[in-house]
Amino acid sequence: MYAIAKGLWVVAFAGAMAMPAMADGPTPANIAVKGSAPEVCSLGGWTYVSGPGSFSGGTNATVTYSNDQMVDGLANSILGPGSAMTLHAPLLCNTAINWSITTSKGALRLESGTTPPSGFASQWLYELRSGPYTSGGTAVASIEVDDADGTPLSGESHGLTSVKATQIAYFGLTFSPFAQSARMLAGSYSESVTLTVSPSL
């Protein structure tokens, strides 16, 4: 009988060795899932919304007044009320941003730089309204209003929180030249306006 009992113990021991790592209690395993959405700030090309000028679109857009939209037959300025041009650029940001507007001249100015004789002018000053809007046309933040005074606009930086920035559907820009009482010197006039948007994180 001893021999039989011993044999049974050997069998039992062998069975225990076969399952040393198995647990009969709860056995959890956790898979931690993690991913990051990077800061995205995507500014699309300009689109023409309203105004008298012609437009060629894109990231570097150009709006052009025709001759008869600028002066009459006696070279008197026509630009003024009713000459405003409005452009939109789609803007998608998923994070807080900074944006700013800069200009190259601070006036719609004669490119040749010729000093005008008495009674003539060589530039139009203007008002520039700029800011971000929702898809419904509501301003997301205070709209910046700059009256060009002939010196380049260096661009005040405007910060927007993530909550505000994610409401933006487009950036709006309205260029409104002021009426000019003088006659205008002949030549090409130009001004450049640059919008810069960047994540602020």
Partner 1 sequence: MTNRTDILLAACLLAGLCGPALAATVAAQPLQVNGDVPVRCKLSPPAAGTSVNTSFAPNSNGGDLTLTGLVDPDTALTRATESVIQIPIICSGAYSLTITSQGGLSNQNASAPSGGFATHVNYLLSANWAGATQSVETAGSAVTLDLSQSGSQAGNLSIDFSLPAGRGPLVAGTYTDEITIQLNAQ
Binding site for partner 1 (CB under 8 A): 1, 4-5, 8, 12, 15, 19, 21-40, 42, 92, 94-95, 134, 161-164, 166-169, 199, 201
Smallest gap from residue 142 Cβ to partner 1 (A): 18
Least distance in Å: CB of 191 to partner 1? 30
Residue type, 11: V
Q: Which is nearer to partner 1, 19 or 74 (CB)?
A: 19
Q: Residue 98 and residue 95: Cα distance in Å, rounded? A: 10
Please report, to the nearest 10 degrees, the dihedral formed by the alpha carbons of residues 153, 118, 79, 127 taken in order.
Answer: 20
Least separation in angstroms between residue 46's CB and partner 1 is 18
Nearer to partner 1, 35 or 113 (CB): 35
> What is the spatial distance between Cα 61 and Cα 46, in angstroms, rounded to a whole number?
6
CB nearer to partner 1: give 44 or 53: 44
Shorter beta-carbon distance to partner 1: residue 140 or 193: 140
CB hemisphere CA count around 52 (13 angstroms): 15
Please tell me the distance from the alpha carbon of residue 57 to that of residue 45, in angstroms, as a whole number: 7
Nearest residue (CB) to partner 1, 8 versus 74 = 8
Q: Please name every residue paired with 54 in a beta bridge, in sequence order, or none if there are none.
A: 64
Of the candidates 31, 30, 60, the residue with the CA atom closest to the CA atom of residue 44: 60
Closest by CA to 173, choosing from 119, 74, 102, 114, is 102
The least CB distance from residue 129 to partner 1, in Å, is 21
Is the CB of 5 or the CB of 17 nearer to partner 1?
Answer: 5
d(CA 80, CA 140): 28
Quote the least distance from Cβ 42 to partner 1, whole Å. Answer: 5
| Measured CA angle at 35 (ends 34, 38), to 5 deg | 150
Task: Compute the least distance from the CB of residue 78 to partner 1, in Å.
Answer: 40
